[in-house]
């Protein structure tokens, strides 16, 4: 199957694209886009990979679902397009960066600037029906994104994995912590941010680890 995804990922994931689950998933997603409004726009489904080639990944941040309201999702977890108001979780992420790294809260919620530096902003599920959170869960995306993490874990080391909330932590529970840095805390959503997200200092810890392993830190 010819999947339009960045070339290094295409090579790494070629086996997944031929599996039955992925073919069923592709049929489901195509039909969903035909029948109604689905986010992100089809050409942006694999944006996280297109901006962050396999060998350039320094940090992985795991999200769950794309945003499901108009104009928000563009293929990077927690990120919104230029000019879109910050969703609550993203606002809390910027608050923590401001406190941790002494940086002002930015004007734009578009995190492409992180992706281009080597931050893989990966949702577990890469599409969603408009206004219906979780509507494309358990259709095959989770199997695919598990394969992505397994590829990284098997072939790369000295990556920072940032796992916020129980869902992300379950998804990354096999990562070798002797070869990588795994940072875990509560999710940045307003429901849980005060139960351990604020004050986690994940952004400075990630950069300290990258510097210690001879890599360029991320400009958060």
| Angle (CA) 185 160 51, round 5° | 110
What burial letters (b/e) apply to 82-105, b meaning 16+ CB within 10 Å?
A: eebebbebbebbbbbbeebeeeee
What's the CA gap between 218 and 111, in Å, rounded?
12
Helix, strand, coil percent content, the chain, rounded in steps of 5: 40, 10, 50
Give, in order, the Cα–Cα distances in Å from 7 to each of 10, 13, 110, 142: 5, 10, 24, 21
Give, in order, the Cα–Cα distances in Å from 23 to each of 101, 177, 220: 43, 33, 37
Mark whether 65 is an active-site residue: yes
Catalytic residue among 2, 50, 65, 99: 65
The residues annotated with a catalytic role in the active site are 65
């Amino acid at each position: 199957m010819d999947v339009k995804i960045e070339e290094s990922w295409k090579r790494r994931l070629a086996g997944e694209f031929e599996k039955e689950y992925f073919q069923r998933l592709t049929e489901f997603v195509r039909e969903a886009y035909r029948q109604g409004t689905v986010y992100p726009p089809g050409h942006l489904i694999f944006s996280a990979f297109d901006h962050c080639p396999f060998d350039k990944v320094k940090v992985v941040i795991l999200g769950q679902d794309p945003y499901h309201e108009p104009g928000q999702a563009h293929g990077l977890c927690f990120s919104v397009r230029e000019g879109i108001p910050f969703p609550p979780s993203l606002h809390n992420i910027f608050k923590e960066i401001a406190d941790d790294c002494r940086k002002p809260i930015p004007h734009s919620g578009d995190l492409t600037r992180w992706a281009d530096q080597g931050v893989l902003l990966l949702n577990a599920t890469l599409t969603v029906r408009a206004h219906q959170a979780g509507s494309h869960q358990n259709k095959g995306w989770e199997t695919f994104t598990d394969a992505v993490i397994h590829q990284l874990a098997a072939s790369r080391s000295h990556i920072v994995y940032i796992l916020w909330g129980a869902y992300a932590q379950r998804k990354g529970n096999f990562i070798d912590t002797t070869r990588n840095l795994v940072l875990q805390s509560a999710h940045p959503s307003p429901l849980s941010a005060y139960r351990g997200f604020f004050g986690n200092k994940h952004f400075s810890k990630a950069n300290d680890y990258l510097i210690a392993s001879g890599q360029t830190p991320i400009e958060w």
